[in-house]
């Protein structure tokens, strides 16, 4: 696995949608209970129960997505009678499962989760936005997120574990980038070479990423990342690649900006 840090792929316009998505994700984390929990050295049990109740209300839950009905019992936000448990009760709110997919795309399990996702979005999302246009890219991003969430829910219809994160939507952007810009060079850090920076073709960087996600989702490789919905990444990536193939077949790529002459000011 390599860690991308920058791509060599000039833009024709400012990627305002990508910037807006990054800003929205940061603001939502700042406003969510996870912001306080992840910064606390030892969060209290009450804080953890409040966080669980928040996710039950706003995050996408596979069982709810498949049945199109909210759970009958959810966390209330208060500690339970037994030590280490959270109290359950009937929800005092009306939850629309399909709309929870949209909310979940902007929820993250802490700052490391957020920064990892936003790094990939910043590097690869801007060029996909440049190719699809701002409105088209926003619709594409959300569609990939929905495809990833429902794809995972179909594979785990009985799961009541909340799904959070922009990974499915961002995986769609990665799949589209691989199809649209396979030869673009990506500066990446290579861990097994002592994090030596190398300029690697995008098809290698993103191809390796996809293979790793597929291996984790299929159980062929062990991951220390905890409960990560790797199948959602796979579904999002494939969805983005398919859409990009259709876009590439329907319209030729726009002319790129010529590279500046050596020694020219810019």
Q: Is residue 264 part of a domain?
A: no
| Local confidence pLDDT in tens for the 266 residues of the chain | 789 999 999 999 999 999 999 999 999 999 988 776 666 556 788 888 988 999 999 999 999 999 999 999 999 989 988 888 999 999 989 999 999 999 999 999 888 899 999 999 999 999 999 999 999 999 999 999 999 999 999 999 999 999 999 999 999 999 999 999 999 999 999 887 778 899 999 999 999 999 999 998 887 755 544 478 899 999 999 999 999 999 999 887 776 655 444 444 43
CA separation for the pair 37, 136 (Å, rounded): 36
Does 266 map to a domain?
no
77 phi-psi bin (left φ>0, alpha ψ -120 to 50, beta other): left
The pLDDT of residue 102? 97
Q: What is the pLDDT of residue 106?
A: 97
In a domain, 61, yes or no: yes
Q: How many domains does the chain have?
A: 1
Task: Give residue 92's domain range.
Answer: 3-250
Instruction: For residues 204 and 200, give the distance between their C-alpha atoms in angstroms, rounded to a whole number.
Output: 7
CA distance 60 to 70: 10
112: Cβ contacts below 8 Å, ≥ 6 apart = none
Residue at 257 is within a domain: no
Q: Is residue 259 part of a domain?
A: no
Q: What is the CATH number of the domain that holds 35?
A: 1.20.1540.10
Q: Is residue 258 part of a domain?
A: no
Does residue 85 fall inside a structural domain? yes
Residue 213 lies in a domain: yes
- The CA distance from 54 to 104, in Å, is 11
- Torsion angle, alpha carbons of 219, 224, 226, 232, to 10: -50
Quote the pLDDT of residue 35: 74
CB-based contacts of 58: which residues, under 8 Å, 6+ apart?
Answer: 100, 103, 104, 107
Q: Give pLDDT, residue 141.
A: 98
């Amino acid at each position: 696995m390599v860690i991308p840090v920058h791509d060599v792929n000039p833009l024709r316009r400012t990627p305002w949608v990508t910037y807006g998505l990054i800003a929205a994700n940061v603001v939502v984390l700042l406003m969510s209970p996870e912001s306080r929990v992840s910064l606390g050295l030892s969060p209290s049990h009450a804080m953890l129960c409040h966080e669980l109740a928040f996710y039950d209300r706003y995050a996408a839950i596979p069982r709810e997505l498949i049945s199109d009905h909210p759970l009958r019992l959810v966390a209330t936000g208060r500690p339970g009678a037994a030590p280490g448990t959270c109290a359950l009760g009937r929800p005092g709110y009306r939850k629309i499962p399909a709309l929870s997919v949209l909310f979940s795309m902007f929820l993250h399990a802490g700052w490391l989760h957020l920064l990892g996702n936003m790094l990939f979005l910043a590097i690869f999302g801007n060029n996909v936005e440049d190719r699809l246009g701002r409105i088209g890219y926003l619709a594409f991003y959300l569609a990939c997120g929905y495809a990833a969430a429902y794809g995972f829910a179909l594979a785990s219809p009985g799961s009541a574990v909340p799904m959070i994160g922009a990974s499915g939507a961002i995986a769609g952007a990665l799949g589209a980038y691989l199809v649209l810009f396979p030869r673009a060079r990506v500066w990446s850090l290579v861990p097994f070479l002592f994090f030596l920076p190398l300029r690697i073709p995008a098809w290698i960087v993103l191809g390796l990423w996809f293979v790793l996600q597929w291996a984790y989702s299929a159980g062929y490789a062990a991951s220390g990342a905890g409960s990560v919905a790797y199948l959602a990444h796979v579904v999002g990536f494939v969805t983005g690649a398919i859409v990009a193939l259709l876009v590439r077949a329907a319209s030729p790529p726009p002319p790129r900006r010529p590279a500046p002459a050596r020694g020219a000011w810019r």
